[in-house]
Amino acid sequence: MFDRESLIAEARRIRAGIEAMSAFVPDELAVTVPTLFPAWISEGHEYTIGDRVQYGGSLYRCLTAHTSQASWTPDAASSLWVHIDDPAVEWPEWRQPAGSTDAYTKGAKVSHNGKHWTSDVDANVWEPPTQWTEVPAE
């Protein structure tokens, strides 16, 4: 029989194992289970490129190694973090890419200002309609 402290310690060991194994899950699957990933830590945490965290109900991947600061939230610091979109959403909301690391590929689909768009070019960092083709509503 476990006592309360033993159960808590065991739960922490299990959680650490889940977080360690989640590093091997591709983004397409990871976004469907963001609770597998640790919550973003706002102060003094060392993040490395590729780390994934949950923040505000969404999953983000680290683009630039850094030490966290409260003002560098994943939803606000686009040079540090990229939002991972759910592949089940056909027309995800357009987001301003930080640069080449999260630019849109040719043919990428987005929603923006109530319209649907497909990217005309690879490495697209432009806001629609520049470098995008509007797709008429069906």
Beta strand ranges found along the chain (DSSP E): 46-47, 52-55, 58-62, 66-67, 81-83, 109-112, 115-119, 132-135
pLDDT of residue 1: 63
Among candidate residues 85, 108, 126, the one where a domain is terminated: 85
The answer on 69 and 98 residing in a single domain is no
Residue 79 and residue 14 in one domain? yes
Here the CATH number for the domain that contains residue 124 is 2.10.10.20
pLDDT digit string (tens) for 38-95?
999 999 999 999 999 999 989 999 999 999 999 999 988 988 998 898 888 899 999 8
The yes-or-no verdict on residue 128 having pLDDT over 80 is: yes
Residues 2 and 23 in one domain: yes
* Structure tokens given for 32: 């469907």
**Cα–Cα dist 14/32, whole Å:** 20
Number of domains into which the chain is organized: 2
Q: Which domain holds residue 73?
A: 1-85
Q: Are residues 7 and 59 in the same domain?
A: yes
Q: Is the pLDDT of residue 100 over 90?
A: no
